[in-house]
Structure 1
Amino acid sequence: MKKQVFKVLAKLNKLLLPSFTKQKLDLSKATKLQMAIFGWKVYVTKNALD
């Protein structure tokens, strides 16, 4: 059940949130909001793959 929720969240992230790798964002120069989005996407992806 938990894994299915994270898979749905991962798909929503891909549709709604910006892709920083496509923008070639330097994480050392990222704003706090960009870092929060990046962290959220990593958290969701990690849990979707477990």
Structure 2
Amino acid sequence: MYKLLAKLNKLLLPSFTKQGLDISKATKWQMAIIGYRAYVTKRALDN
């Protein structure tokens, strides 16, 4: 399930590293997306 979510995240959600986002200047919604993507990626790699 998490592998599918990770693939959907890659297609649908923005990649802040490609945009050169400074994490210390990220807004709350950007931090929420970063945390969500990290959680899903970690869970997908654990399986």
Q: TM-score, normalised by structure 1?
A: 0.91
Give the total of aligned pairs. Answer: 46
**% identity of equivalent residues:** 76
Structure 1's consecutive aligned runs of 4 or more residues displaced over 6 angstroms after TM superposition are none
For structure 2, which runs of at least 5 residues remain unmatched after alignment?
A: none
Name whichever structure is richer in helix by fraction: 2
| Rg larger for | 1
CA RMSD of aligned residues (A): 0.3
Q: TM-score, normalised by structure 2?
A: 0.96
